[in-house]
Amino acid sequence: MPGLTRGAACVLALGGCASLQETPRAPFAPDPAHTIWLDHPAEHFTSALPLGNGTMGALVFGGVERERIVLNEIGLWSGSVEDPNRHDSHEYLPEIRRLLLEGKNLEAEALLSQRFTCAGAGSGQGNGADVPYGCYQVLGNLRLEFGGDAPAEDYRNELDLRTAIVRTAYTRGGVRFERECFVSKPNEVFVERIRCDKPGALDFILKLDRPEGTVTKSDMLDGKPILEISGRMPSMGYAARVSVELRGGQAFRALGGVGIEGADEVILRVASATSSGNDAAALARGKLERAAALSYEELRRAHVDEHRKLYDRCELTLPVSAEAQALPTDRRLERPDASLAALDFHYGRYLLLSSSRPGGLPANLQGLWAEETQTPWNGDYHLDINVQMNYWPAEVANLAECHEPLFDLIDSLRKPGAATAKAYYDAPGWVAHVITNVWGFTAPGEDAGWGSTMSGGAWLADHLWEHYDYGRDKTFLARVYPAMKESAQFYRAILIEEPRHRWLVTAPSNSPEHGYVLPDGRVGHTCMGPTIDQELVRELFGNVIEASRVLGIDPEFRADLEAARARLAPVQVGAAGDVQEWLEDYADSEPHHRHVSHLYALYPGEEIADDARLREAAKKTLELRGDEGTGWSLAWKIAFWARLGDGEHALELWKTLMRPSVERGIVMQRGGTYPNLFCAHPPFQIDGNFGACAGIAEMLVQSHGGVVRLLPALPKAWSEGSVRGLRARGGFEVDLRWSAGRLRHSRVRASVAGPLVLELAGERIERQMKAGEALDLIR
């Protein structure tokens, strides 16, 4: 009985769920620092608006005739646990090293190609969906087919970062339509409300599908429509289930889905799950049943409250240009104003808290948003910059708990990484090379040219220390110390002495994905002691030394590391006045290569920043490398220039990164930004979003070398502004307000007792802080 249904729903609506015709339309006034909006539906997912709760993701296209919402589950991977190690590889290690010590690098590389790559197909050259390595895959598509050909007017598709709600609104055939959706963390469900201002005018077909391998069910259960997809990967099952709540109108079976006719309002709930057993569908059903017990308003309120607890901790305000107030986000990319940098910063935080939550998997190459079954580069975890960059904003931008999934991943690599350490190096401890997945892949990659960089583990282990250094939580340090120590044990065991200076170096390794030119013109990759390895091992040893001191344990291991650390090859300055990328001053095979690995110690590492000679060399390196690059490469350079104190140059890089991109295939140059502000490698790769967020923070507050620096790289275009809730190493939180390019008010709060060294405009202030104390400076 339609009348009765309508009446009953109206009673429920008293809690605030007024229908659209009763709600006076508020003028559309998006906050330019917290809203991403477009005045047309997305043709591709790089214009769609992302939602996520760390496990479930959604990309909302905002279609008028046809709406598509891509659904994701962060654990949905093909592939399976495998043994990718060649267990006899260590037998060839002495010969590989002998060749390297004799300067026969290419011969060493040839042997590496035969004996020191992974067993099996490895990553499948980045197309690993059907090999054991596997691939992160799309869960499905939710489709709403409205049909008709009347044009839409007064259209907008809008994501409010503060509420994590996407709203799609337009007028069509004289009727105003409004859809609102979110992915709830507390209730583990995607929710969408569809309304219009004419009673009974909602007619559409609802469908749920997946590109491959799926059973689709659409049915009426007790008069209520249910849609479900489910399927199995080699090692897991997955499912998504949709329920439909109607206010007015009715539902009916339709070809490939369910039809809705004559409704005033429709509420969709979608739950999903992955499972190694056969219970994914049951898990999804359970979530859906729990969410069905709550009204739309209750679900919405719980979602917004939970989201704001994280999102509101930190805020950046920068000058807004008049046109930025009025322009949709994609048009703002053509003339990036200061407030777009604030939006980009907030978006980085938003994307992190949407794709990485405690208990889940880390944000992958695309966070948790993917529309294919073969995601570029398998949507995996690359360990030679990419997954680490994803977590650069976590501490400084006040989302430290979102860092946790990375720590779990690191912990999960200890066991497989120990097997790899044994197989290839006959060494203790654990190691990971260039790539990993959810199945514990730690072996070298399938190609020696890029696959044998051995510092992936050391770079990961640095994140454990960073989390401690920002928060100074000794319980955390004690928990993660074994992973740090076992990583140090590995590198301690595999270092060899190079003949020229008798420095200790890694061997065999390479400088991530870059080649050198030998004096005779031949190009090689394999080497000993690439600069990044030396920087990472020096840092790892330093962190483990310090951690063992803080925890009061392992004095003998500490002493051994101290002795070895003093003998590691130093950062060297080459003939061109730049930082040498390799132990020898080789020429670059690609002078403008995207990786700038040897400047690891400038950012995020600390070794270069406070050494005048090395700073100059780093500057020279950046000048020679140039201001181009893939998305993440441009983002890294923002942080490099910020550390060098050059805010104008950092801003230029950020502007280049904002360059509108339409390229969606894999291209190893010309990074930029898509209409939805996703970073374009190209293709979409989320590391550049996170790198830019961290780089912007680095322009405002730095805290390396035991000194908290305020406004160290402020560009002129940002001369007015404020920031609240940035964090600094040592257990500090910082608020700043500045005008005419000068700091007016700073507040530094200490969460633990300890010394504070503050630097602003060349002046240093030192204080002993108590836990909970705040220091205000007013100028």
- How far is the CA of 662 from the CAs of 44, 58, 671, 686, in angstroms? 10, 21, 10, 16
For residue 122, give both structure tokens: 């490895």
Of 352 and 710, the one with the shorter C-beta distance to ligand FUC is 352
Distance in Å, CB of 512 to ligand FUC, minimum: 7
Of 628, 622, 659, residue with least CA distance to 643: 622
Sign of CA dihedral 301, 305, 307, 311: positive
Q: Which two tokens stand for residue 389?
A: 């960059």
Q: Considering the complex, what minimum distance in angstroms separates the CB of residue 587 from ligand FUC?
A: 20
DSSP classification of residue 568: B
Burial (CB count <10 Å: 0-12, 13-18, 19+), residue 773: middle
**Among residues 356 and 597, whose Cβ is nearest to ligand FUC?**
597
Q: Please, what is the minimum distance in Å from the beta carbon of residue 681 to ligand FUC?
A: 6
Q: State both tokens at 747.
A: 């507040």
Q: Per the structure block, which two tokens stand in for 216?
A: 């689709």
Residue 587 makes CB contacts below 8 A (sequence gap 6+) with 516, 517
Q: What kind and span of H or E run contains 410?
A: helix 404-425
Q: Write phi, then psi, for 33 (nearest 5 degrees).
A: -95, -5
SS3 766: strand
Q: How many CB atoms lie within 10 A of CB 546?
A: 15
Nearer to ligand FUC, 243 or 656 (CB): 656
Please say which residue, 354 or 453, places its beta carbon nearer to ligand FUC.
453
Tokens of 167: 């709203």
Instruction: Provide, rounded to whole angstroms, the least separation between the CB of residue 21 and ligand FUC.
Output: 49
* Closest separation in Å from C-beta 673 to ligand FUC: 16
| Least distance from ligand FUC to the Cβ atom of residue 385, Å | 7
Beta-carbon count within 10 A of 742 CB:
12
Whether 761 contacts 732, CB under 8 Å: no
Specify the residue, 336 or 444, whose C-beta has the smaller distance to ligand FUC: 444
Asked whether the beta carbons of 456 and 445 are under 8 A apart, the reply is no
Could you give the 3-state DSSP secondary structure of residue 301? Answer: helix
Q: Which residues pair with 242 in a beta bridge?
A: 227, 270
Q: Are 686 and 366 in contact (CB under 8 A)?
A: yes
**Residue number with CB closer to ligand FUC (168 or 685):** 685
Binding site for ligand FUC (CB under 6 A): 365, 377, 382, 386, 513, 594-595, 630, 632, 681, 685
**Closer residue to ligand FUC, CB minimum distance, 349 or 382:** 382
In this complex, which beta carbon is closest to ligand FUC, that of residue 170 or of residue 377? Answer: 377
Nearer to ligand FUC by Cβ, of 439 and 557: the residue is 439
Q: How far is the CB of 76 from ligand FUC (least distance, A)?
A: 19
Which of 524, 476, 460 has the alpha carbon at shortest distance from 106?
A: 524
Which lies closer to ligand FUC via its Cβ, residue 605 or residue 691? Answer: 691
Task: Work out how close the CB of 628 gets to ligand FUC at its nearest, in angstroms, rounded to a whole number.
Answer: 13
CB of 126 to ligand FUC, least distance (A): 8
Question: Residue 710 CB, nearest distance to ligand FUC (Å)?
Answer: 33
State how far the Cα of 770 lies from the Cα of 730, in Å rounded to an integer. Answer: 12
Count Cβ atoms below 10 Å from residue 696 Cβ, excluding itself: 29
